[in-house]
Amino acid sequence: MIRRALLLWPLLLALALPAHADARLSVLVDVLRLDEVAAILREEGLTSAEDLNAGMLDGQGGGAWQTQVEAIYDPARIVEAVRGALDRELDDAALEEAVAFFASDLGTRIVALENTAREAIRAPDVEEAARLRYAELSDTLTPRLEMLRLFVAGGDMVERNVTTALNSNFQFMRGLADGDALDVSEDQMLADVTAEAEAIREDTEGWLYGYLLMAYSPLTDAQLQSYIDFSSTPAGQAVNRGLFSGFGAAYEDISYALGRAVALNMTARDL
């Protein structure tokens, strides 16, 4: 009997490991407050959908359009996409380091500042002020901006944001085409999307630096440097890749679904 128990122990341990890793991943999702991020992105999306309704549906989308958009911007699906990407990117050691940092007093404060700023910058006047602040500093050697330049470069944040935007635009066009609201080849879609790259890059830089200057303004230089130092570690880089990969995948799915929904509503309107 004892021998049998000993033989089963390695199997029980092996079965427990994935559950433990999954639990730690849940902790990381919690300390990153991804549910809060997804809720903010949903509100951004619903606002953008109003522009789509006005620009492509002549404001005639009505309740059906609203219902479709609310289903498309599902916060739970966004969180799951990011969770899956983090799971792929972080090994056990990186996961523990990431949890330790973002559960710390500084990490908790950083996440709160990022989310508060992301919510605030949804307001057009706040976004304009943030962009203006960056424009005023962009040609200077302001120490805080120099720190942020290192932070952004270390995470390749501008190019990753641009790539996400281009991929999302392409998927939106695919959705329109698959819904018979756009009659162009994929090659033409790619050409049209690629032609927007430089304008998107310039717009992204202005928004990103304006947002970061606002979000981290309450931090001391030493606190910001601690965050930059963590971000440059293998664990920090893995978190960055996971976040961009997960949110990028979520945005592509959302953009395609929006394209299909627009096409559906355009077809229904024309009947």
pLDDT digits (tens, 9 = 90+) for 135-150: 999 998 899 999 999 9
Q: Cβ(229)–Cβ(151) under 8 Å?
A: no
What average pLDDT does this structure show over 108-130? 97
Burial class (CB in 10 A: 0-12, 13-18, 19+), 9: exposed
The candidate with the shortest Cα–Cα distance to 256, out of 184, 168, 146, is: 168
Predicted confidence at residue 7, as pLDDT, reads 41
CA distance 190 to 171: 10
**Residue 142 Ramachandran class (φ > 0 left, ψ -120 to 50 alpha, else beta):** beta
Give the torsion sign (CA, 101, 104, 108, 109).
negative
Give the torsion sign (CA, 196, 197, 201, 207).
positive
For residue 70, pLDDT beyond 50: yes
Predicted confidence at residue 8, as pLDDT, reads 43
For residue 249, pLDDT beyond 70: yes
Q: Cβ(95)–Cβ(24) under 8 Å?
A: yes
CA distance 223 to 166: 34
Helix (H) or strand (E) holding 242: helix 234-270
Q: Cβ(33)–Cβ(111) under 8 Å?
A: yes
What average pLDDT does this structure show over 58-86? 94
State which amino acid sits at residue 205. Answer: E
For residue 251, pLDDT beyond 80: yes
Model confidence pLDDT, tens digit, residues 14-36: 444 455 568 999 999 999 999 99
E-assigned strands of 7-162?
none
Predicted confidence at residue 267, as pLDDT, reads 79
Distance of CA 212 to the CA centre of its chain: 15
Predicted confidence at residue 22, as pLDDT, reads 85
Model confidence pLDDT, tens digit, residues 225-245: 999 999 999 999 999 999 999
Retrieve residue 237's tokens: 């880089």
Phi, psi of 168 (to 5 degrees): -65, -40
Q: Cβ(247)–Cβ(163) under 8 Å?
A: no
Burial class (CB in 10 A: 0-12, 13-18, 19+), 46: middle
What average pLDDT does this structure show over 160-172? 96
Predicted confidence at residue 4, as pLDDT, reads 39
- Give the CA diameter of the chain: 76
For residue 1, pLDDT beyond 50: no
Predicted confidence at residue 20, as pLDDT, reads 53
DSSP structural state of residue 97: H
The candidate with the shortest Cα–Cα distance to 214, out of 156, 143, 133, is: 133
Predicted confidence at residue 94, as pLDDT, reads 97
What average pLDDT does this structure show over 118-128? 96
Predicted confidence at residue 179, as pLDDT, reads 94
Distance of CA 97 to the CA centre of its chain: 21
Q: Cβ(213)–Cβ(228) under 8 Å?
A: no
